[in-house]
Structure 1
Amino acid sequence: MKKQTVNWAIIGPGRIAKKFASGLKEVPGANLYAAASRSLDRAEAFAAEFEADKAYGSYEELVKDENVEVVYIATPHVFHYENTLLCLKNGKAVLCEKPFAMDTEQVKEMIAVAREKKVFLMEAMWTQFLPHFKFVMQLIQKGKYGKLKNLKADFGFHSPFNENHRLYNKSLGGGSLLDIGIYPVFTALSALGIPEEISAKAKLAVTEVDEECEMIFTYKDGIEAELHSTVGRKTPTTATFLFEKAVVTMNSRFHEPTTVTISTEKGEKTKEFGVTANGYNFEAAHVQEMLRKGKTESDQMTFEKSLQLIGLLDEVRRKIDLVY
């Protein structure tokens, strides 16, 4: 793909898709060409709102459109696997929302099909591409403040119980872990790698999904990552890194564009990153860069990292007896 304009399509035009479409407007050379939903009316409303050329009442129609080059999949978790395979088998590059799929076996098959078809595939873990997140990961890699000794990361908001809501519906992959707990887990993976031991406990809703999940990842030398997610109450939603010579905090709603506060014996300072868009633009721009280079795998959000991430989520689910 050498041309400057990239034709995007969106499957699943819901709340997250609207955020992505807004971010896409900030990406040079990005054109939101089409949207698809199982409801044509919904697809048409979304297309009108974001000035897309086409609206489809089925995903099958969308993937047959020769003008579609890359598809952003924003359907509920349980549909990521089948939606991704549909796109890949029809030669469409895919950026699929997190979690990539429901378990490791599904992710492995998605990757295998992408490789077989030689089509680009990436998990839409947008935090990976945000400037503040990259900044903190570089601090860790460079050892500027010494070794990382501890990590605490949480993500919580209050969603009143509703057995039919996606968050509490087991048939849609509900629960806090896959929806928001994935962000603390991803942060620990990025900062510290694969833990030697995982312990976890959860508070289950009556629908048998985790309303709240507490995790401890233990690494060599006694380093721990204390991770927490909940849809039952609002929490600070920060990520705090304890180094030998500093405490570094990704401030509230750390998974999206935010500031970073660094505290040392010399005092405290807060760094801003000048992000004016909503942040989804960074991952979309990366996908376009990969496509223009003829890549079929991201060099940042790699297949290996997605496999490691889903592997950690699978292990936590085993620990809390959460079976979908």
Structure 2
Amino acid sequence: MKEIVVCGEALVDIVTTSPAPSPGRLAPMQPALGGGPFNVAVTLGRLGSSVSFLSRVSTDHLGDEILRALSASGVGLSMCQRGDEPTTLAVATIGDDGAASYSFYTDGTADRLVADPGPLPGTVGAVCFGTLSMVLEPGVSVYESVMRRAHAEGTLVMIDPNIRPAVIADPDAYRRRFAGWMQHTDIVKVSDEDAAWLAQGSAGTGVRDWLDAGVSAVVMSAGADGLRVTTERLEVSVPAPHVQVVDTIGAGDTVGGALLHWLSAHSALNPSSVADLDAPGWQTALGFAAAAAAVTVSRPGADPPWAGEQVTD
């Protein structure tokens, strides 16, 4: 089985789910491990993929817990770097519809200072990028170099921008940079909200632009409306399973991880196989990813499913 390398940040979410009890008092807050790339890696490890996490993690107590959680979910740590800078924090507020809004504390944190690991091992079949790590310097330039090298070597590249407007100081510059990544990317996984935000620019930031630039497949998540993939040859949609939604934290990350797992399990973890996947194949792949995400949204926080836990392939 080829290895999947997930690149990007791990952080601590401080989650509040209820209003303040009275003026001058804060609502109860619950810390939870998270970050888009962290959640993708955990999803892959729990489903049984061979996966490693490429990041810089703090040597503080929170960083120790991040590594412990990754290891417990079956994620390899050989590519993790350590630094004495603090762990990134995110404050998440859950709305009545289960959706989360975020604010971030990222200045001088460990994950921003990741060093270039050099060429990846020949055992690597795919690399995945996304969220804050593809916004904040100097880390984004490091990950961009990893992306370009991997794609040039024929390794499958997936990106999930997981747009967080609060940390994007120059939206137009980000959109231009994102458009430049498309020639080095095989799969773009976006939410419908991500796609709408990106389309506000004029730098080739729409689905057709991405496909024209060389992307093989654009997978779009639309919450309760399910998942859709668009390629040069086809468009396939699957509905979202009906579940009681507790919150949506980690749902999109679960989709990305589950999709990569399905491709690996079906010997399709390479650019040519993704480009050639037919409609029935995509139907099955998206159905698997949607079922995995349904487990995640049915319980609080980013808690992806383990192999066999209400997920079939």
Larger radius of gyration: 1
TM over 0.5: no
TM-score, normalising length: structure 1: 0.37
Give the structure-2-normalised TM-score.
0.38
